[in-house]
Structure 1
Amino acid sequence: MKKTFANIVAYYYKEWKEFTMPIHHHKAMEIMYVINGKCIVEVQKEKIELKKGTFIFIDSNVPHRLIVDKDSPARMLNVEFNWEENNTSLVSLEDLADRDETIKVWLEKEAIYDVFKDMDQVYPTLRQLVLALDQGATNKQLLIDSLICQLVFHLAHNSMEQREKVDNFQQLYVNKAVQYILEHYDYDIRIHDIAAATHIHPSYLHRIFKQSMDCTINTYIARVRIDKAKMLLKNTEIPITEISNYVGIQTSQYFSMLFRKHTNLTPTAYRQLFLEL
C-alpha cells in the first residue's frame, strides 16, 4: 500500500518591507505565518489580509503573491512542503488519517487555501520544527516526525473548527434573509433589499443562500408567494384578481402564469377544488 509523508523542502524567517511579490505558483504547499505586522496575500485574485498571529495554508500549484505596505512591515515564517513517498519518516499521512477522522476529511477536501487565527498552537510547533530541521542531526528524526504530526493535527482541527464557525455565521445570515422575505413578500423585494437588511454583500448572500436552501433567493421568494396565494385562495373570499397584490406580484396576468408554473393549475381552478368540498 502506498504511503505518503510530509517532506519539508524550504523554510525561512523574513522581515518584509514595502514588497510586492510577482504572482507565482509551485509544487510545494506553503504555510505563511505572520509573526509581527500585517500583509496581504493574494490568492487567485482574492486578497486576504493577515495580521499578527494569523497564517495561511496554500495548496500546491495555486497562483499567489505577497504584498507588504511600506508603512506596515511584516515579519513572517514560511514553511513549504510536499506530500511524498520516502523511507525516513516514521508516520505516514495514511496512518494519521486512519486514526483521526478530522485529518482524513482535511486531507481529502479540495479547498485551495485556508486562513487561520492561531491559538498559540501552530507557531510553537513551527518554531520547534524549523529548529529541529536546522540542527539536522539524524537523532532528531523522531522529533521532526512528531512535530509534523502535531502540525497536521492542528491544521486539520483548526480548519474544521473554523469551517463550523463560518457555517454557523452563514446560517445566521440565511435565517435573517428568510425572515425578511417572510415579512416582506407583499413588497417588490429585490436581492439588494435583503442584503441591506442582513448587512452583507448581495453576491455573498446569493451564494450562501443557495448553499443552505438548495435554491436561489428569487426561487424561494416565488415559492413563498405561491404558498401564501394558495392559502388565500383556499381559506378566504378575496377576489382572485386582488390576490396578486397581497403576495407582492405586480400583475394578475404574471401571477396566473407563475401560479400555474408551480401548481399546474390556474388560480381559479385551484380555488374551485376547495369550493367543491
Structure 2
Amino acid sequence: MASTTDLAAEPAPLHKHPYHLVDPSPWPLAGAFAGGAFVLGIVLLSHYGIHWMLYLGVASVLATMFFWWRDVIREARTPGMHTPVVRIGLRYGMALFIASEVMFFVAFFWAYFHFALYPQHVSGAAEAVWPPQGIHTFDPFGLPFLNTMILLLSGCTVTWAHHSLLHNDRKGLIAGLALTVLLGISFTTFQVIEYSEAPFAFTGGIYPSTFFLATGFHGFHVLVGTTFLLVCLIRASRGAFTPERHFGFEAAAWYWHFVDVVWLFLFVCIYLWGAGDIMEH
C-alpha cells in the first residue's frame, strides 16, 4: 500500500475516478492471430514438416509481446495513469497469474505421484515398482544439487537487488540483478548438460515423460524469469525504477521466487525421494 507521503506526491488522475481506462489497442487482436499462427505452425511442423508457419508464429508472438509491453511501460511513465489503485490491481493480477502457474505444476506433480504411489497402474510393467524396472535416475547430489544451490543463491541476489532499490542504491540494484541473470543462465546451462547425459529418452515410458515434462517446463519458466529480470536490468541501468514506483521489478522478483520454490519441490520429490538405481558416471 502507498504511504500518505506517496499519495500526496501522486499526480491527479486523468479522469474523475482513480482507475485506468486502457486506450483502444491493436495488440490483443494481434496477439490472438500470432498465437493461432504459432499453434498452427506446431501442427504443420509435426505432421507435414512445414517450418515457415512456426517461424512466422514465433516472430509474431515476440513482436506482440515487445510492442504491448512497451505501451504498458509508456503508460506507467505517464503522470496520472498508474494511480495507487491501479498499481494495487496490477499486484492482484500478478498474484493471480502466479496462482495459476502453481496449478499448472500441480498437474505434473499429480501425474508423477499417481504412478509413484500406485506403480501397479503403469501399463505393461512386469513388476509394480517405482521408478520402473530398467530406469536409472540421476544422482540427486550431482548436477541437481548444484542447480538447487544456484537457484537458492539467485533468490538471495534478487532480494539484495530489491533491498538496494528500496534504499535508492542504484549500484547495488544493478549488481544484484546482473548476478541473478548470470545465475539463471548458469542454471539453464547445467540443465542442458543434465539432459544431454540423461540415461532415458522422453519416449521411454511414464517415468521419462513425467520427469521431462515437470523439469522441462520448470526450465522454460527459468528462461522466462531470466528474460524478465534481464529486461529489468536494462531498465534499471536507464534509471526507470524508483524506491516508490518499481512494480515491474517487484513482479519479476515474485516470479523468480516462485520458480525457486517450485524447483525445491522438484528436487525433493523427483530427484531425492523418487531416486532409484543411480546411473553410472
TM-score if structure 1 supplies the norm length?
A: 0.30
Q: Which has the higher strand share?
A: 1
TM-score if structure 2 supplies the norm length?
A: 0.30
Which structure has the bigger radius of gyration? 1
